Structure 1
Amino acid sequence: NGGSSTDHLEYVSAGWYPAWKSTEFPPSKISWDMYDMVTFAFALTTEDPSKLDLAGEDKTLTAFATEAKSRGVKSLLSVGGWTGSMYFSTHMATQKGRDTFRKAITDMVTQYKLDGIDFDWEHPNQKGACNAFAPQDTANFLSFLKDLRADPAGKDLVLTAAASISPFFDANGVPSTNLAPFGEIFDYLAIMAYDIYGSWSPTTGPNAPLYSTCAGDKAVGSGESSVKAWTAAGFPIKKLLLGVAAYGRSWHVDTANAMTGNALSPYATFDATIKPLGEGETDSTVYGVDKCGEQEGPTGIWDFNGLIDAGWLMSDGEASQSHAKYLFDDCSKTPFLYNETSQTMVSYDNAESFAEKGKFIYDNKLGGFAVWHILGDSSDNILLDSIHK
């Protein structure tokens, strides 16, 4: 699959490597043979368009690129992320800013010998964490990308994007209807079809629903609806990657609200004042303030392998009946767990939901999948094996 960025694989297996976990999981521990393309997360935008911030992981990026090359896997660097998108809008607003920012990116590609760049701008002309945003963001983004493709340093790069379930917002603050020009420039665009429900939602619900047509007024969006939205906006389906989640989210749900009859309720009322601990968090965890000045607290987030380690799931990835009640929600095609002792409900993905997503990708002829994140799967790749089938 070597050569230029235009050599499309039939089906792309991609994922993001969370560099902040590098001490425990250096690049040498990545399951490289499961992927065609791995993206290093993140390089954060800074106030200065000529500088990107690797958050102290410079040496990790060097090792990552070297390791990828030796394994014949494409290495990309993701620019942005939830808290790293602060200055995209500002840099993109002028030709001078775009030129400076472009050089910062291509210099980094050269320095680290990378194969490409992933743009994870959260989000053009839309509020994310604490990003600047402006009406011309999407138009400016396109100008920037055209210049990047015209630049000898950017012409052959693999260029990808991570995007929300709604197409990039236009100047009126609504999803754009014509994104075909982006489809000509990007090799792939991964739709982040996860974080659909969380602690911010009115009820519990599927973190990464594949379908939402049967969810009635509870529908927020899904893998299926997002693919429809992006293709309706003119983005080629063969360049769309379905973003899939190797993690789950949890809520505190009173036993009285957790069940409807004998079955778990996917859309249960939860107690927002009690935030369940996430993986690696304890009652004595000290939380700081994030880049946006927001006080951090328990995340309630569990990687798939963390659910196994904590006993929610058995080593084969199946639910541990002694630990939790289990429901495979046939509407969203995703599983739920509920522990009555801790009164914790978890929405996550398992082999069955990944198999459904793999089938959806294959049946609809998408470009492939991108997993957030590649260290979330079990050591024997239960999720990846399932989606590959």
Structure 2
Amino acid sequence: MLSFASLASLATLLLPAVSAYGTGFTGQKVVSGYFPSYQQSPADVPYNLYTHLDYFVFTTTSSPSSISQAGISDSVITDFVTRAHAAGITTSYVVGGWTGSQYFSTHVSTATSRATFARTLVSVMQQYNFDGIDIDWEYPGQQGEGDNVVSPNDSANLLLFLQTLRSVAGVNARLLISINVAGMVGADGNTLTDLSGFAAVLDYVTTMSYDITGTWSGFTGMNSPLSAACAPPSNPLSIATGISYLQGAGFAANHILVGMPAYSYSYYVQGPLTQRTCPDGTKPSLYQYATVGSTCGTYIGNGPQFLYKDIYNSGYFASQSGYRRVLDQSSQTWILWNPVTLSFILTDSPGTYYYKARQFFQRRLAGTNIFDTSGDTSDGRLVRAIHQGLKIDPTTTVPTLHKREIVRVSASTSSAGAVSSGH
């Protein structure tokens, strides 16, 4: 099996011969975020904390000649773009998403429909003065929400479409696609190992390294773990595996953005930690199974989804909150457990954001893509931590990024949980 270093070297050999990228690729560190038009006002976005913003979302329709604004008015779109540009921030718009990917397969299936769809997307980009387009197809060759059109030729047709889109949009349009952390599948159902053709026409790619575990999984686990070293065999995905996949398949590190969630899932558990006397004796506390009669966990139900700002503003990290706090070093995830309510929250914090971003800096990645801008606190605790981690501005003030937490997180390589009071 190839090592991470070997994969990185192989990626260099696989890179296509591209003479130059346009202005869509800056070559600088990127702190990008998705603006959720359905739940945040353009006036509430801290534009100065980002280098790029993605308007979320337009959705596909049954015709390649149109896309849907998903009920959002023109005034919201133009207000967002105007404010971003006034702040010196470039913008793209996202087409697709979980609920908007139904017709991608149809629209990229023939040369004629690909050309029509490409002209449609570029027309929308020009109409609203966006700087680029983000294709968020969930997922080529695989079912997503449940009613998507799916074909085994989806990934191959997507590449043909992106080549057409680049031709129509021009060299300076910022083109990006988002790829499932598990990878993209080919016609045979296996994961594609060569994405060099995609790398040749895209400015950036986002690895969707969130929703790796959630309330649908049947067990508790991390939303966006840095490492899957302690994960059960059925759930081997992580930020690290997503990065390794893209580099091994042909994307240069400085074109890779890591998707980071500003939201968390919660559960109800009868005890804070799974005992290590489970059958194989190796599973950590974070993975608790809902199987009836299981001796391997105490997971009894699902709780609400939280934005990070709600966790912070509710004081759940405070010692008087009733929540016990444990930091899992391997995944860089905080465990918050309330023995009275049985609430069990697995969340990021400025400290884990900082640590992860520092890993991205060391791997020379392009940066991050946060989902979404409404999830952070009003003073941008999460995004400021990314600035520090990527060394964009080491002097950036992070009010709650305690030095104690940074030291504890950065110094440890243990996969065991470490109790800390930082948040």
Inter-partner Cα distance in structure 1 for 2:362 and 2:97? 30
* Structure-2 residue corresponding to 1:288: none
CA contact (8 A) 1:42 1:80 kept: yes
Kept in 1, the 8 Å contact 2:219–2:299? The answer is no
Q: Which residue of 2 aligns with 1:13?
A: 31
Q: Tell me, what secondary structure is at the counterpart of 2:258?
A: strand
For 1:166, the equivalent position in structure 2 comes to 182
State which drifts further: 214-223 or 160-169: 214-223
Whole-angstrom CA distance in 1 between matches of 2:343 and 2:31 = 32
The correspondence for 1:138, drawn from 155, 163, 187, is 155
The alpha-carbon distance between structure 1 residues 159 and 70, as it changes in their structure 2 partners (threshold 3 A), is same
Aligned residues: 352
> Among 128, 144, 149, which residue is 1:128 paired with?
144
SS in 1 for 2:264: strand
Paired amino acid for 2:333: T
Write the mapping of 1:176-195 to structure 2, written as runs, cut at 5 A. Answer: 176-195=192-211
How far apart are the structure 2 equivalents of 1:349 and 1:138?
32
- Which of 90, 98, 111 in structure 1 is aligned with 2:106? 90
Asked whether the 8 Å contact 1:125–1:173 carries over to 2, the reply is: yes
Shift of 1:265: 2.2
Q: 1:386 is matched with which residue?
A: 385
**1:310 alignment partner in structure 2:** 314
- String of CA shifts for 1:270-315, please: whole Å, max 9, x gaps: 4887432xxxxxxxxxxxxxxxxxxxxxxx21110011233323xx
Instruction: Confirm whether residue 275 of structure 1 aligns to residue 306 of structure 2.
Output: no
Secondary structure class of the residue paired with 2:309: helix
SS at match of 1:345: strand
Distance 1:327 1:121 in 2: 36
For residues 142-161 of structure 1, the C-alpha deviation after alignment (integer angstroms, 9 at most, x for no partner) is 1111111112x443210011
- Secondary structure at the aligned position of 2:340 is classed as coil
3-state DSSP class of the match of 2:33?
strand
Equivalent residue for 1:31, pick from 43, 46, 59: 46
Distance 1:328 1:221 in 2: 19
Structure 2 residue 71 is matched with structure 1 residue 56: yes
Per the TM alignment, residue 26 of structure 1 is displaced from its structure 2 partner at its CA by 1.5
* Compared CA separation, residues 197 and 113, structure 1 to 2 (3 A): same
Q: For the structure 1 residues 189 and 7, does the alpha-carbon distance in structure 2 shift closer, same or farther, using more than 3 Å as the test?
A: closer
Query: What amino acid does structure 1 have at the position aligned with 2:30?
Result: V
State the distance in 2 between where 1:106 and 1:72 align.
Answer: 22
**Partner residue in 1 for 2:352:** 353
Question: Once the 2 structures are TM-superposed, how far is the Cα of residue 236 of structure 1 from its aligned partner?
Answer: 1.5
Correspondence for 1:316: none
Q: Distance in 2 between matches of 1:242 and 1:353?
A: 14
Aligned twin of 2:11: none
Provide the C-alpha distance between the structure 2 equivalents of 1:235 and 1:188, rounded to a whole number of angstroms: 9
The 5 Å alignment of 1:290-305 reads: 300-305=304-309
Which of residues 261, 265, 284 is equivalent to 2:285? 265
State the TM-score, normalized to the length of structure 2.
Answer: 0.79
SS at match of 1:89: helix
Q: Is the alpha carbon distance of 1:194 and 1:325 closer, same or farther for their aligned partners in structure 2, counting shifts above 3 Å?
A: same
Q: Are 2:331 and 1:332 aligned? A: yes
Query: Given residue 179 of structure 1, which amino acid in structure 2 is its aligned partner?
Result: L
TM-score scaled by length of structure 1: 0.86
Contact 1:311 1:323 in 2 (8 A): no
| 1:137 positional shift | 0.7
CA distance in 2 between partners of 1:120 and 1:250 (Å): 26
- Answering whether residue 203 of structure 2 is matched by residue 203 of structure 1, we say no
- Kindly indicate whether the alpha-carbon contact (under 8 Å) linking 2:263 and 2:306 is maintained by their aligned counterparts in 1: yes
